[in-house]
C-alpha cells in the first residue's frame, strides 16, 4: 500500500529512543505477556476497483486475545478506566460490574462498533462449549478514522472480524498503518497501532506489563523529553495544523495477579502515559484504557494470591513507560496514507525526529544516563560492543546494494573485533593495550562513517540511522579510554 522511502520505518528503540527506567520484554510488545495474541485485518478499498463504494476506505479491525482458549469459559480479570469518555466503547458496564473479560478485545472505527460487536458475538456463540450460551458481553473500542476513510459506508464486515481473530498470533506485533490504525492520525502526523512492554526486576516479582494503542489524538508531540512537535511546527491549534480532536484506545495486559480494582488503577496510569507524549485529552477525545491480567482465569477452583496495593507502584511506572513508547511506535512505524477525498496524513519524517532528539540529547539514554549507563571500563566496553552489534543488524537488513553493504559490514566486523579485544585485555588488567584496541576500534568506526558520507550510496533514513549508531560507538570508545 505504501512504497518507496516512506515504507522504511523503524521503532523507537531502533532510533535510540529509550524512554523510562524498566527494560522491555523480548518483543517489546503486549505479546510479551505470556499467552496474549494480536491479529489485524486492514480494510483498504478504492473505487472504481470496488464498485460498491464511492469513496476510499482506509479502516480495519485489530483483535487482542488474553489467551488462545475459550475466553467466555475461561474469563480473565479485567477493568476499564475512562480518561475522557467521548467515545463508543461497547461492553463497559458489565466489565465495570463484574470485573471480568469474556471475549477478545476488538478495536475498529467509530461507526463500525456495532457491526464488529455483532460479529464478535457470532464468533463466540460458535465456539465449542458455548452451545447453550444466551449472554455475551463483547468488548469493542474505537477511534474515528473519518478524515481518511469513508466511515459512513461502515466498511468492516463480519469476515474481516473473523480474519483478524484467525490472524491473532504471539511474538512480533505489526504496527503503524494497519488494522484498526489504518486511517488514524496522531499529534500532527499519521497515527496507528503501536505496542511496547516493560519487565520488572526479579526482586519485584519479574512481572511483565504490555500495552497496545490505537492512536488518533492531538496535542504537542514530545519524544523522550525532546519537543519534536514544537521544533517541527506541528501541534494542535498551530497555524499549520487545525485542531485535532481524536481519541486513543489503550489495551494493557499483565501477568501480575491483580484484582479488577487494581487493574482499574493500572489502566488509569496508562492514560497518564499519553500525557508524556503530549496529549491533552481534548473535549472530543475518547481516551479509554482496558487492562486485564493473565495470571488466573475464572471461575477458579483454588484461591488466588493477589498482589496488594503496596506492590502496585512499580507496575504503575511500568505501564506509563510502556504506553509512552507504544504511542511513539505507532507513529514511527506508520506510513503515509492518502484516503477519502484525497485527504492525506503524512508519516512523521524519521530523519527530522533523529535531528531534534540529537539536539536535545534524548537518545541512547541507556548508554549515557543512570541507572543503566555503565560506569566501569569493562561495562562500557561491553555496552559499546552491544551497540555495534545493533548497528550491524541494521546494516544487514537495510535495502542497500550488496556491494555497499559488504564494505560497511567489513568495517563493522573489524570494529567489533577490536572492541572484543579491548574487553579481554581489560579483564587481564592490561589497560594500555586495551586503550590501544579501543583507539583502533574508534578508527574503524570513523572509516565506516566516511563510507556513509559517499553521496548517493546510502539513502535515508538509513544514512542518518547508521551515522547515529556510529557516533555513539565513537563516544563509547572515548568514554571507555577515559575510565
Minimum mean pLDDT range among 178-192, 206-220, 296-310, 323-337: 296-310
| Catalytic residue from among 109, 285, 293, 464 | 285
**Residue 285 annotated in active site:** yes
Mean pLDDT of the chain: 94
Domain final position from 352, 377, 409:
352
Query: What pLDDT was estimated at residue 246?
Result: 78
Domain membership of residue 315 (yes or no) is yes
What's the structural domain count of the chain?
Answer: 2
Q: What is the pLDDT of residues 38-50, one digit of tens each?
A: 999 999 999 998 8
Given 302, 330, 352, the domain boundary residue is 352
pLDDT of residue 240: 52
Per residue in 340-367, pLDDT (tens digit) is 999 999 999 999 999 999 999 999 999 9
pLDDT score of 149 more than 90: yes
The one catalytic residue in 195, 197, 247, 293 is: 247
Domain boundary pick from 352, 374, 404: 352
Residue 265 sits in the same domain as residue 384: no
Whether 301 has a pLDDT exceeding 90, the answer reads no
Residues 280 and 405 in one domain: no
Check if 279 is active-site: no
Please tell me whether residues 322 and 385 are part of one structural domain. no
pLDDT tens figures, 25-42? 999 999 999 999 999 999
Domain that holds residue 469: 364-482
Same domain, 323 and 375: no
- 319 and 249 fall within a common domain: yes
The predicted model gives 393-399 an average pLDDT of 96
Identify the pLDDT of residue 4: 44
Q: Any idea what the CATH number is for the domain that residue 414 is in?
A: 1.20.140.40
pLDDT average, residue stretch 393-420: 95
Per cent of the chain over pLDDT 90 is 89
Residue 52 pLDDT: 83
pLDDT surpassing 80 at residue 317: yes
Same domain as 87, residue 134? yes
Is residue 359 in a domain? no
- The 3-class SS string of the chain reads CCCCHHHCCCCCHHHCCCCCCCCCCCCCCHHHCCCCEEEEEEEEECCCCCCCCCCCEEEEEEEEECCCCCCCCCEEEEEEEEEEECCCCECHHHHHHHCEECCCEEEEEHHHHHHHHHHHHHHHHCCCCCCCCCCCCCEEEEECCCCCCCHHHCCCCHHHHHHHHHCCECCCCCCECCHHHCCCEECCEECCEEEEEEECCHHHCCCEEEEEEEEEECECCCECCECHHHHHCCCCCCCCCCCCCEEEEEEEEECCCCCHHHHHHHHHHHHHHHHHHCECCCCCCEEEEEEEECCCCECCCCCCCCCCHHHHHHHHHHHHHHHHHHHHHHHHCCCCEECHHHCEECCCCHHHHHHHHHHCCCCCHHHHCCCCCCCCHHHHHHHHHHHHHHHHHHHHHCCCCHHHHHHHHHHHHHHHHHHHHHHHHHHCCCHHHHHHHHHHHHHHHHHHHHHHCCCCCCCCCHHHHHHHHHHHHHHHHHHHHHC
Choose the catalytic residue: 287, 345, 383, 442.
287
Q: What is the pTM of this model?
A: 0.95
Determine, yes or no, domain membership for 358.
Answer: no
Asked, for residue 357, whether it belongs to a domain, the answer is no
- Both 111 and 259 in a single domain? yes
Active site residue 281: no
Amino acid at each position: 500500500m505504501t512504497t518507496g522511502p516512506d515504507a522504511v520505518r523503524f521503532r523507537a528503540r531502533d532510533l535510540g529512543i529509550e524512554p523510562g527506567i524498566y527494560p522491555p520484554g523480548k518483543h517489546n510488545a503486549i505479546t510479551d505477556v505470556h499467552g496474549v495474541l494480536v491479529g489485524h485485518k486492514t480494510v483498504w478499498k478504492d473505487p472504481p476497483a470496488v464498485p460498491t463504494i464511492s469513496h476510499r476506505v482506509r479502516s480495519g479491525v485489530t483483535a487482542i486475545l488474553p489467551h488462545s482458549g475459550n475466553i467466555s469459559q475461561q474469563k480473565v480479570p479485567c477493568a476499564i478506566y475512562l480518561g475522557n469518555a467521548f467515545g463508543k466503547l461497547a461492553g463497559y458496564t458489565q466489565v465495570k460490574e463484574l470485573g471480568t473479560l469474556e471475549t477478545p478485545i476488538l478495536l475498529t472505527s467509530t461507526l463500525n462498533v456495532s457491526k464488529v460487536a455483532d460479529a464478535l458475538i457470532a464468533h463466540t456463540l460458535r465456539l465449542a462449549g458455548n452451545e447453550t450460551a444466551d449472554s455475551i458481553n463483547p468488548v469493542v473500542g474505537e477511534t474515528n478514522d473519518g478524515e481518511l476513510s469513508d466511515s459512513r459506508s461502515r466498511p468492516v464486515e463480519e469476515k474481516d472480524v473473523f480474519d483478524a481473530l484467525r490472524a491473532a498470533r504471539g511474538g512480533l506485533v505489526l504496527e503503524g498503518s494497519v488494522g484498526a490504525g489504518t486511517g488514524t492520525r496522531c499529534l500532527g502526523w499519521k497515527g496507528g497501532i503501536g505496542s511496547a512492554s516493560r519487565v520488572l526486576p526479579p526482586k519485584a516479582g519479574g512481572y511483565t506489563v504490555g500495552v497496545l494503542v490505537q492512536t488518533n489524538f492531538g496535542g504537542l508531540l514530545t519524544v523522550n523529553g525532546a519537543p519534536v512537535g514544537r521544533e517541527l511546527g506541528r501541534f494542535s491549534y498551530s497555524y499549520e495544523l487545525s485542531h485535532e480532536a481524536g481519541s486513543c484506545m489503550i489495551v494493557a495486559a499483565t501477568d501480575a495477579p491483580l484484582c479488577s480494582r487494581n487493574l482499574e488503577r493500572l489502566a488509569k496510569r496508562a492514560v497518564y502515559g499519553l500525557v508524556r507524549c503530549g496529549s491533552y485529552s481534548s473535549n472530543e477525545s475518547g481516551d479509554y484504557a482496558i487492562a486485564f491480567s493473565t495470571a488466573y482465569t475464572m471461575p477458579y477452583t483454588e484461591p488466588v494470591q493477589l498482589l496488594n496495593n503496596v506492590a502496585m507502584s512499580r507496575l504503575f511506572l511500568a505501564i506509563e513507560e510502556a504506553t509512552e513508547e507504544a504511542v511513539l511506535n505507532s507513529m514511527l512505524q506508520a506510513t503515509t496514507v492518502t484516503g477519502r477525498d484525497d485527504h492525506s496524513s503524512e508519516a512523521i519524517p524519521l530523519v527530522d525526529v533523529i535531528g531534534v532528539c540529537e539536539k536535545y540529547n534524548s537518545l541512547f539514554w541507556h548508554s549515557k544516563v543512570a541507572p543503566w549507563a555503565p560506569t566501569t571500563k569493562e561495562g562500557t566496553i561491553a555496552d559499546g560492543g552491544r551497540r555495534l552489534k545493533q548497528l550491524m543488524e541494521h546494516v544487514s537488513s537495510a535495502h542497500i546494494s550488496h556491494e555497499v553493504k559488504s564494505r560497511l559490514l567489513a568495517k563493522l566486523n573489524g570494529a567489533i573485533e577490536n572492541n572484543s579485544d579491548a574487553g579481554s585485555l581489560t579483564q587481564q588488567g592490561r589497560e594500555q593495550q586495551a586503550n590501544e584496541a579501543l583507539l583502533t576500534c574508534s578508527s574503524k568506526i570513523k572509516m565506516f562513517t566516511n563510507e556513509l558520507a559517499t553521496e548517493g550510496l546510502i539513502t535515508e533514513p538509513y544514512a542518518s540511522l547508521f551515522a547515529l549508531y556510529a557516533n555513539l560507538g565513537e563516544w563509547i570508545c572515548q568514554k571507555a579510554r577515559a575510565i
